[in-house]
Chain A
Amino acid sequence: MSYEETDIINIIIAGTAGQGVITLKRLIEFAAQKSGSDLVLGTEMHGLAQREGAIVSHTRYQMKSYQNPRKNLQSPLICYGDADLFICLEPVEALRRGIFSSKKTTFVLNERTIPGVMITADLEEYPSLNEIEEILKKSSEEIYFINATQLSLDKFDTNQNMNIIMLGVAIATGKLPFIKTEHYEQVIHEWLRDPDNNVQALQLGIENGKQLMRKEHV
């Protein structure tokens, strides 16, 4: 899919508290600013929702705006079905935000599950990754799973770089048009603790993402 500069790009980032959803969202927004985007707007959650709960953020940008305000990015919330990209740091969180997805949506999902307390208490069931994929396939064709938590543990000895690896995978899908890798790298240097590792994580994600895309398209 190719994008026009006047298109509005819509990204859902979903996960659970503490996984780094908000950091990822800010990185994309600041990188969009570096890329010279005319409009950037997005929303994040603070407060109550942060205790082990489900977290979602909406990120939107538009490289070139129209003279007519009626065609421009005006709301920080994405409309139902209108997301171009889902970055899911926890797989079942993709389903929770499914209303924002449609044919045009590409999903990248971290395979590592975080079952809520109701699952551990055996009062509810957690679907398998296959079941999750089957459900997502009802609306979308581009669904990529990757074990980013494991990649982070293997390479950095901590799960803390998982979110940046996932960003790399997302970049490889081409669904974050007009923002260059250098823009992300600059933002990482300006805003994150331990920038060198994070830049490495980004590269690792991009490489793994590219491999995934190749496999799927053979």
Chain B
Amino acid sequence: MIKEDKRFISEQGEVLMLGNEAVVRGCLEAGVSYAAQYPGTPTSDIGETFQKILREQPDLRKYLIHHWAINEAVASSECAGAAWTGCRVLNPMKHVGLNVASDALSVIALNGPNPGAMVILVGADPGSLGSHQEQNERFYIWMFHFPCLEPHTPQECKDYTKLAFELSEKYDTVIELRTSTRSAHSRGYVKLNPIKKGLSIGNFERNIPKFNSLPPHAINNHIRLYERIEKIREEIPNLNINRLIPGENSTGIITSGMSFGYTLEALAQLGLFDVPVLKLGMIYPLNHEEITDFLAPLKNVVIIEELEPFLEVKISEIAHKHNLEIEIIGEEFFPKYNEYSTGLVASCLAKIFQKRPEEQMTTSVEIFNSYKDKIPSRFPTFCAGCPERATLYSILKTTNNMENTVICGDIGCFVMSFFPPQECSDLIICMSGGLSAAIGISEKTEQKVIAFIGDSTFLHTGMSPLAEAANYNSNVLLFIFENSWTAMTGHQPVLGLTEKKLSIEKICDAIGVNWLKIEDSYHPKRLMKSINQALEEKGLKVIIIKRECALQANRWRTSQIRKLKKEGKKLQEVYFHITGCQMCYECARILSCPAIRKTEVDGLETMQIDEDRCIRCEVCLRICPNNAIHKSIINALETEVHFREL
């Protein structure tokens, strides 16, 4: 949609930006010269924005590098490496990405990023809007001592990014910038300042104690880390980052990030305009004097934060240490799970302040509750023509609907396989957790064990469990979905694979996989034959499903068609029509392609194919038991545009 994005070129003015775009703009203004990350919602579009800028402004490449990394641990260490040559580096990751990166970060935090600066951007996800779970990753902040800034608006996303780099450089400390799905994907005004070029060539200077956090340096670096944190704590009042909205009420509120917006609007909804509010821009460390000054005149303080209490714990500690007589209200009124909203905060505050919320709000909730159970579900599901969906079809058929079979799911688009109507994922843990669990299950059961893994996940952490499964010759059938993209997070390349520099089958071979087949799920008969063979054999079997992600394949084919038409070429046109449909539901319940819908023709129910959604993969046509789906070709003698081969 975007032609050329001036918002990353202009040196002044005011523009509309998403929180994530504002972070990238902040990096440009702060002279960042290196960024690396593994994709993950809500941080993937930071990388996409960097990539877009570098495509549009190739001259920048001398000063700025962006890497799609193979996983989060690699990304963090490569960022640290670049920082140690003197660069300012940004290392974005989603909340669960921090679990993977934590081993590396625990040491990088001790060493410190100087002579450069390092900011980790962690995208939290209360409400699991784009993740498998909503863990409260804030506790890592205490564990590793990451001073943490939490922006609310896109403007703050930019300002805090710049501040984070200054602090990181000045105090030789890794700084965390904590966004959430909401703040990352909210759009608002951002004022632009001049852009600074990053470092083009750096230099690594040997400093054995600093970069070798082993005893005795590990202890010394730990001591040094505390000193740095204390200095930052002292400086907080001068940073102008925490914001006070004064008021006379004897009950006050402390909050941060997105919750601040919900809180102010909720107070307005309740007509409470005199409640003092302290918005923390920095949620760790806290400056005791600043907090006690706010608490001193109050009888009660309400802490509003999404997920488990974090600020509440520290503020209670400060109040206790300073002998303040104040009631601290939080988790007993606010849920420790799910995302907050103005409505939710208003209903909790209504109880605390014993106020009635506006009628508009309460009636709308009541009316909605009266019909919400009648709304048909709309789960996320595979795209029309998805090769992963077609694979599930073949698995369901060959295992007689998962009889005596355990299917270990994994992370990737096929997480959606647990939704009805296919419902064929028995468990999900984390990236590569499926194959790992399958090793254990297969040792202790006589059931058939199937595991899934995507190509990006395979390179992220999947090679190690495969090596273990090969070593023990685990009785597992592994499907590797080689669709050529990191699809679920918005189609970032699979490092090395998309560019055809590496081969998954060669890796499998080198690991010691003896039973391996390469199949295409668009040909269910052949695939089912291979699955049947595999399930009869004992030991480790691998089937690679080699077929490009349908969404990407269709984008490519559509652009080919547009190009060829422009050149004046006549093209074949393919249509599918259904006649003699027996309403057996094979295509609707077991394949369940969303391009197929039910309709009535001359009073008779029949399935029908939505032409504008169908990508012509031909799977439904190959599986229809009644041969009711027919293909017709117009201009049959003209050029045919195939999907591209992988």
List the interface of chain A (C-beta within 8 A of B). 16-17, 23, 26, 29-30, 33, 39-54, 68-71, 74-82, 92-93, 95-96, 98-104, 115-127, 135, 138-139, 158-159, 190-193
Contact = CB atoms under 8 A, between A and B. Distances in A.
B625 interface: no
A120 B262 contact: no
Contacts of B589: 121-123
23 contacts: A41-B153, A46-B42, A47-B130, A48-B129, A48-B131, A48-B380, A53-B380, A68-B273, A75-B258, A77-B262, A79-B266, A82-B361, A92-B375, A95-B375, A98-B368, A102-B363, A102-B364, A116-B378, A117-B381, A117-B592, A120-B592, A125-B376, A193-B1
B378 A16 contact: yes
Contacts, number: 222
B364 A100 contact: yes
B381 A51 contact: yes
Interface string B414-429: 0010001100000000
A81 B382 CA distance: 33
Given A48-B488, A51-B383, A121 B421 contact: yes
B44 interface: yes
A126 B245 contact: no
Nearest to B357: A80
B338 to A, nearest CB: 13
Given A26-B187, A52-B383, A99-B364, 8 more contacts: A45-B129, A52-B378, A75-B261, A79-B361, A80-B368, A98-B364, A119-B598, A139-B363
B188 to A, nearest CB: 5
Contact of A77 (B182, B245, B382): B182
Contact of B360 (A50, A68, A81, A92): A81
Contacts of B188: 39-42, 76
Contacts of B182: 43, 76-77
B129 A120 contact: no
A69 B379 CA distance: 39
B581 to A, nearest CB: 12
B614 to A, nearest CB: 13
A94 B601 CA distance: 28
B553 to A, nearest CB: 15
A75 B262 contact: yes
B265 interface: yes
Interface of B: 1-3, 16, 18, 41-42, 44-45, 129-131, 153, 182, 185-189, 245, 258, 260-262, 264-269, 273, 341-343, 346, 358, 360-361, 363-365, 367-368, 370-372, 374-383, 413, 416, 420-421, 488-490, 585, 588-589, 592, 594, 596-598, 607, 612
Which among A41, A47, A190 has the greatest number of chain B C-beta atoms within 10 A?
A: A47
A39 B45 CA distance: 24
Contact of B592 (A71, A80, A102, A121): A121
Contacts of A102: 360, 363-364
A128 to B, nearest CB: 12
Contacts of B383: 51-52
Given A82-B361, A116-B378, A52 B341 contact: no
Given A71-B268, A74-B260, A122-B585, A99 B378 contact: no
B380 A80 contact: no
A23 B370 CA distance: 32
Given A79-B346, A159-B612, A127 B260 contact: no
A207 B278 CA distance: 49
A45 B180 CA distance: 12
Contacts of B363: 81, 102, 139
A195 to B, nearest CB: 10
A122 B3 CA distance: 43
A101 B371 CA distance: 13
A53 B381 contact: yes
Q: Which 8 A-B pairs have the closest CB atoms?
A: A81-B364, A47-B41, A75-B261, A47-B130, A53-B380, A80-B343, A76-B186, A74-B261
Contacts of A30: 16
Which among A33, A52, A99, A122 has the greatest number of chain B C-beta atoms within 10 A?
A: A52
B378 A29 contact: no
A191 to B, nearest CB: 6
A155 B266 CA distance: 45
A122 B598 contact: yes
Nearest to A119: B376
A54 B129 CA distance: 12
Contacts of A118: 376-377, 379, 420-421
A56 B420 CA distance: 22
A96 B268 CA distance: 26
A74 B243 CA distance: 14
Contact of B130 (A48, A104, A159): A48
A135 B421 contact: no
Contacts of A101: 364
B1 A192 contact: yes
A46 B264 contact: no
Contact of B342 (A29, A79, A95, A127): A79
Contacts of B187: 26, 29, 40-44, 76
